[in-house]
A and B are shown apart, each in its own frame.
With several copies, the nearest count.
Chain A
Amino acid sequence: EPDERAFQERINAGGKIEPKDWMPEGYRKNLIRQIGQHAHSEIVGQLPEGNWITRAPTLERKAILLAKVQDEAGHGLYLYCAAETLGVTRDDLTRDLLSGKMKYSSIFNYPTLTWADMGAVGWLVDGAAIMNQVPLQRTSYGPYARAMVRICKEESFHQRQGFDIMMKMANGTEAQRKMAQDALNRFWGPSLMMFGPSDAESVHSAQSMAWKIKMNSNDELRQKFVDQTAPQAEYLGLTIPDETCKFNEETGHYDFAQPDWDEFFDVLRGNGPCNTERLEARNKAWDDGRWVREGLLAHAAKKRSAKMAAE
């Protein structure tokens, strides 16, 4: 098919696909899934950090955390807008999130249990997210690529803030060091899982890479993440909960053990520590907010018709 060939050639040449351009149905569908999941992750991702806003230890930390969570909501907004250019509405996507039909990043199904988790989330979770997202600034779909540019700028700021919290904790009192180590212990494996299973097992990978909506292999990014993070852990004086995690002179990379993939699939199936709570929280917000959305819509309609009557 000539359309499809032209489309692929344009991508190969580094061109951008824009909303009104022809695109294969699979491309559209895959993008909706991917951007939608990413948007949902930003939204659900507010919850584990929101859990500590009311307990932040200083006014400054509270402000930083609030700003961060606000940014995440903003990222959700950009991404829903990007998805909408593909012909779905935000409400459609939201309903699929709330019914459990669409997923969000599994990492947000883990609980935040101490203040150090705010550090670990920034350092590890945002760190892993950035690894995934930086290449996506060059993705083939224009609105998505542009959203990623804005998002990446803010994410790397968040990651630095997270690392800063970890430094304070790691250089703090004995209890703080303990919290920091405990946070690393709990978030290390789940962070490695953020890149997805090995590409060998991944269904969508080859086509997605050809379409440039996936830019690197999962294993490649995971290795990059470990290579970046392991020396940072050392710098913090914390121990990565993996005895095999060592620099390998031969490969020039850090060796590391695979995370517990059984746990990953458990979480995907809905059995993560917080799956139920997260979906309940979002569903409750949506249901409790119905009267507000309806009220504001009704008011806007009244104003419109009053304006039309006056014209």
Chain B
Amino acid sequence: MNTPLFEFLCRMGDNTLVLGHRVSEWCGVAPVLEEDIALANTALDLIGQTQLWLGMAGEVEGKDRDADKLAFHRDVWDFRNALLCEQPNGDFGQTMMRQFLFDTWHLIMLKALAGSSNEQIAAIAEKSVKEVTYHQERSADTVIGLGDGTEESHMRMQKALDKLWPYVGELFIGDEVDAAMVEQGIAPDPASLRATFDSQLDAVLAEATLTKPADDFAHKGGKTGARHTEHLGHMLTQMQWLQRAYPDASW
């Protein structure tokens, strides 16, 4: 059993699981029909990636837990997603800003993972890169369109950025799990992704006429599981309800 590897895979899979859930909450109530379709598509991709990451995590753990068992039968403290992913949808602007910040990190991460020493991880990453490239293009375009749209849309996007900014830093904070991954050539040092992230971010924000907050304070505790926000527990009551209520059923 490879504990740091298991942890790492849970981090990847919980990010996509939790963000996929959030995005799926938009079902049927997006601002335009095309967005309904696009958001459902994003959620679908993220859930598909979750099956791969958590499926592999279960195999690595070797305790007979498959992706569903991991998704539906862990409580908050065992979740390893970044806090950014569990933040509430807010308005459409906040949802798309969260998506853009995550997508931008996610794509850089996946591209690095495509060169992982672990072939299975490299394969998952390669498949995901295709999907996430599209996500990132779309969310960047939306951030630009709304940032540089009307006065109201600009104001809402700036507010969304200010609100979500303290959750960005966690994506780049490394710990002993990450160190183990680096050592084994499995995954990059999170901090090493920051420069690329910043330059891509700055380019989009400039086009979107949005201002990056000056304060770089970063909340943490999601990817280590030490302290999630109160939002995650509420999400799990919904997400895990049926599995928890009917543990013996197969669906």
Contacts and interface: CB of A to CB of B under 8 A. Distances in A.
Are A and B in direct contact (Cβ within 8 Å)?
A: yes
Interface of A: 43, 46-51, 53-63, 66-67, 69-70, 73-74, 76-77, 80, 90, 111-115, 165, 168, 172-173, 175-176, 178-179, 182, 186, 266, 271, 273-274, 276-277, 281-282, 284-286, 288-300, 302
Given A53-B24, A66-B24, A113-B76, A294 B152 contact: yes
B182 interface: no
Given A66-B24, A273-B227, A274-B229, A115 B251 contact: yes
Contact of A273 (B34, B36, B93, B219): B219
Query: Taking each of B47, B76, B77, B246, which has the highest tally of chain A beta carbons within 10 Å of its own beta carbon?
Result: B47
Nearest to B245: A175
A231 to B, nearest CB: 25
Contact of B230 (A111, A173, A288): A111
B228 A111 contact: yes
Contacts of A69: 27-28, 40
B94 to A, nearest CB: 12
Nearest to B163: A276
A293 B250 CA distance: 43
Given A284-B29, A292-B32, A296-B145, A115 B242 contact: yes
B144 interface: yes
A73 B149 contact: no
B43 A66 contact: yes
B61 interface: no
Contact of A295 (B67, B145, B166): B145
Interface string B147-165: 0111011101000000100
Contact of A70 (B41, B68, B148): B41
Ranked nearest first, the 7 interchain pairs of A and B with the lowest CB-CB distance are A289-B31, A295-B153, A295-B149, A46-B28, A50-B27, A70-B40, A292-B31
Interface of B: 17, 21, 24-25, 27-37, 40-41, 43-44, 47-48, 50-51, 54, 67-68, 71-72, 75-77, 91-93, 142, 144-146, 148-150, 152-154, 156, 163, 166, 217, 219, 221, 226-230, 232-233, 237-239, 241-243, 246, 248-251
11 contacts: A62-B24, A66-B43, A90-B33, A111-B227, A113-B76, A114-B77, A179-B77, A182-B77, A293-B31, A295-B150, A295-B152
Contacts of B92: 288-289, 292
B239 A292 contact: no
A153 B140 CA distance: 34
B242 A47 contact: no
Given A58-B72, A62-B24, 10 more contacts: A43-B33, A60-B68, A67-B44, A113-B228, A114-B77, A176-B246, A186-B226, A277-B230, A285-B28, A298-B149
A58 B50 CA distance: 11
B28 A50 contact: yes
B27 A46 contact: yes
A60 B51 contact: yes
Query: Taking each of B28, B37, B68, B142, which has the highest tally of chain A beta carbons within 10 Å of its own beta carbon?
Result: B28
B243 to A, nearest CB: 6
A173 B248 contact: yes
A145 B36 CA distance: 25
B44 A296 contact: no
A97 B191 CA distance: 38
A55 B238 contact: yes
Given A175-B75, A291-B150, A59 B30 contact: no
A60 B47 CA distance: 8
B251 A57 contact: yes
Query: Taking each of B41, B71, B92, B154, which has the highest tally of chain A beta carbons within 10 Å of its own beta carbon?
Result: B92
B36 A294 contact: no
Contacts of A77: 33-34, 37
B40 A298 contact: no
Contacts of B28: 43, 46-47, 50, 69, 73, 281, 285
A300 B156 contact: no
A276 to B, nearest CB: 7
A124 to B, nearest CB: 16
A207 B148 CA distance: 52
A113 B227 contact: yes
